[in-house]
Amino acid sequence: MSQDSEYSAGQIQVLEGLEAVQKRPAMYIGSTDTRGLHHLVYEVVDNSIDEALAGYCDTIEVRINDDGSVTVADDGRGIPVDTHAEYERPAVEVIMTVLHAGGKFDSKSYKVSGGLHGVGVSVVNALSKWLEVEIKRDGAVWRHRFDHGEPEDGIERVREMRPDEETGTEIRFWPDDGIFETTEFECSTLESRLRELAFLNPGVEIALRDGRTDERSESVFEYEGGIREFVAYLNETRDVLHDDVVYFDDEVDDIHVEVAMQATAGVQGSIHAFANNINTREGGTHLTGFKTALTRVINDYATSNGMLSDLDGTLKGDDIREGLTAVISIKHPDPQFEGQTKTKLGNSEVRGIVEGAVHEELATYLEEHPDTAEAIVSKAVEAAKARKAAKKAEELTRRKSALESTSLPGKLADCRERDPEDSELFITEGDSAGGSAKQGRNPEFQAILPIRGKILNVEKHRLDRILENNEIRNLITAIGTGIGDEFDIEDARYHKVVLLCDADVDGAHIRTLLLTFFYRHMTPLLEAGYVYAAQPPLYRIRYKGETYDAMTEAERDRIVEEVCDGNPTQVQRFKGLGEMNPEQLWETTMNPGNRILKRITIEDAAAADRMFSVLMGDAVGPRKQFIKEHAEEAEWIDI
């Protein structure tokens, strides 16, 4: 369409809607960085999951194509193609171009409609250079194509291609590189969310195929056991205290509640709560209801079985949740999402419903499985005893030395800038790298904190022991936020906390230790996007008096071939940061003009949790297995 006069009134309305999305994409998908990019895929997949929840679809395939596009295909009923009475246009066109039109077509009970999902596939269309949809329905194959959200000019709006008796929808879209900071899809990011969806929706097969020439791969997720298998998966790397995964579900007032849990020997609990397939990281009424009932049921069981006799008092919620892995999933016809990231369930009626369901079902489960009950309760009693014993020491160390100490650590070379937003903290490993970084930095806005040797493995110790560690205390005071319950993001002294570790196995180990600490005790710092990993170059190539740095082996090979005609003067491998002089370190790794920083986010708490416990947890078998499998890439372990 080339002239305004050709637009109908309805068409103009549509364009205004899509234009609003294009002008303020972040309002609809959260951000235009890699996270927002991946949300496009989740949005389309959510529509297919809805089809599955309605009982019409059991296979979903996500394909990353070689031309930068992604295809999402399902075997559902297919998007309707007949003429929509109100808009006088094909229904598929309405769904693709009218904000929130998807939901108006049907009254499926568990519509995913919160957080950043559920904005409608029209938002994906608005943010795509092109979008193609192929529908099998009503005995034929239908195609439609959109250009920056607008129905493509041409013959009929929906073209009937050939007869076909099957049904399904295939949506392929090319994200608009004028809108997104990056249009590179990451298989591992998609994989964790798709795996999670497969756990949450048992019986649905979700496949991920990476068709890009360099990285062909295929994963297929299907879990008949649902969240039972999710908990077993999360605990694969842990020492479990009972073989069965506790599972029950209940439905009250159209609200479906499911719980799966299993106790482990570790100290770190991990409870993942979902509402309508959305990971409610900020918690909410379903989580509160679960915790309240759990505390009550376990205390009741312990009391009536005489298990609290040598404990002065009752079990606290924290005692019971120590080392407990649990997944709570509810499906609600009208979920309300609140909180900063819209990942907190707000429906007040849910609290009592979940509490009631857990109270009744868990009590029954424990009565019927006394060995499991014994394992869970004994673990909680042990935790309560440890808590009491540690209390004094904890108060001492915690209050005095860590959080109330106001003076900055002596090892910190602070920057002059006082505005946290413009300040950067580089955490370096060992004294030699720290020395280079101190000399190479721009002291105006870059601070350096050297960390000596291996910091304490925080996965294995309780807070009181962790706080006895000097390096950890320095870290906490330098960052300024406090930790755990006392954490306050407003007190962060830097909005960039950069891990500057060697590109070798030791460096990866230190980085993982630090990230474990942030993940466990400063989660909001990761959520705020304040944590980064510096990426020092791996190789330096000299040729005709010039030097070239390469971040990867592939880049080294490219430079050697293309720049040096296959005949470089010297190829040097940087083993440690200490090998670089201060100027080199500044130029390659610290200078904001040249450097590459990798932002570390909690894209998927469950996946990160698993990674940390494989590397750090009690079970030795899985760690050996992991290291064996990843030995070649051990130099750079991505979280």
The DSSP result for 147-177, as a single string, is ETTEEPSSSSSSEEEEE----EEEEEEEE-T
Residue nearer to ligand 0RA on the CB measure, 76 or 578: 76
Residue nearer to ligand 0RA on the CB measure, 106 or 181: 106
Gap between the Cα atoms of 318 and 237, Å rounded: 22
Residue nearer to ligand 0RA on the CB measure, 140 or 386: 140
Gap between the Cα atoms of 72 and 612, Å rounded: 31
Please list, residue by residue across 381-403, b when 16 or more beta carbons sit within 10 angstroms of its beta carbon and e when fewer do: bebbeebeeeeeebeebbeeebb
Closest distance to ligand 0RA from the beta carbon of 332 (Å): 20
Shortest-Cβ-distance residue relative to ligand 0RA:
47
Closest distance to ligand 0RA from the beta carbon of 402 (Å): 51
Residues forming contacts to ligand 0RA in the complex (CB under 6 A) are 47-48, 51, 74, 76-77, 79-80, 95, 102, 105-106, 169
Pairing between strand 531-534 and 496-500? parallel
Residue nearer to ligand 0RA on the CB measure, 63 or 509: 63
Closest distance to ligand 0RA from the beta carbon of 189 (Å): 21
Pairing between strand 283-284 and 255-263? unpaired
504 is catalytic: yes
557 is catalytic: no
> Residue 533: exposed, middle, or buried by beta-carbon count in 10 A (0-12, 13-18, 19+)?
buried
Please list, residue by residue across 156-184, b when 16 or more beta carbons sit within 10 angstroms of its beta carbon and e when fewer do: ebbeeeeebeebbbbbbbbbbeebbeebe
What one-letter code names the amino acid at 137? Answer: R
Residue nearer to ligand 0RA on the CB measure, 66 or 106: 106
Gap between the Cα atoms of 242 and 20, Å rounded: 53
Dihedral of alpha carbons 630, 633, 636, 639, sign: negative
Gap between the Cα atoms of 435 and 421, Å rounded: 25
Q: Which of 46, 414, 429, 609 is catalytic?
A: 429
Residue nearer to ligand 0RA on the CB measure, 47 or 516: 47
Cα separation values, 565 from 538, 544, 568, 587, Å? 20, 11, 8, 25
Cα-to-chain-centroid distance, residue 556: 31
Closest distance to ligand 0RA from the beta carbon of 133 (Å): 9
Give the contacts of 195 (CB within 8 A, at least 6 positions apart): 206, 219, 221
Closest distance to ligand 0RA from the beta carbon of 105 (Å): 4
Angle between helices 505-521 and 470-479 (to 10 degrees): 60
State which H helix or E strand residue 446 sits in.
strand 446-451
Q: Using alpha carbons, select from 140, 193, 141, 170 the residue that is nearest to residue 74.
A: 170
Q: Which of 502, 527, 587, 609 is catalytic?
A: 502
Residue nearer to ligand 0RA on the CB measure, 124 or 533: 124
Closest distance to ligand 0RA from the beta carbon of 107 (Å): 10
Residue nearer to ligand 0RA on the CB measure, 204 or 234: 204
394 is catalytic: no
Q: Using alpha carbons, select from 297, 320, 195 the residue that is nearest to residue 248.
A: 297
The residues pairing with 59 across neighbouring beta strands, listed in sequence order, are: 205
Q: Which of 132, 250, 338, 506 is catalytic?
A: 506
Closest distance to ligand 0RA from the beta carbon of 194 (Å): 15
429 is catalytic: yes
Question: Reduced to 3 states, what is the DSSP secondary structure of residue 461?
Answer: coil
Closest distance to ligand 0RA from the beta carbon of 71 (Å): 12
Q: How many CB atoms lie within 10 A of CB 68?
A: 15
Residue nearer to ligand 0RA on the CB measure, 54 or 489: 54
Catalytic machinery residues: 429, 502, 504, 506
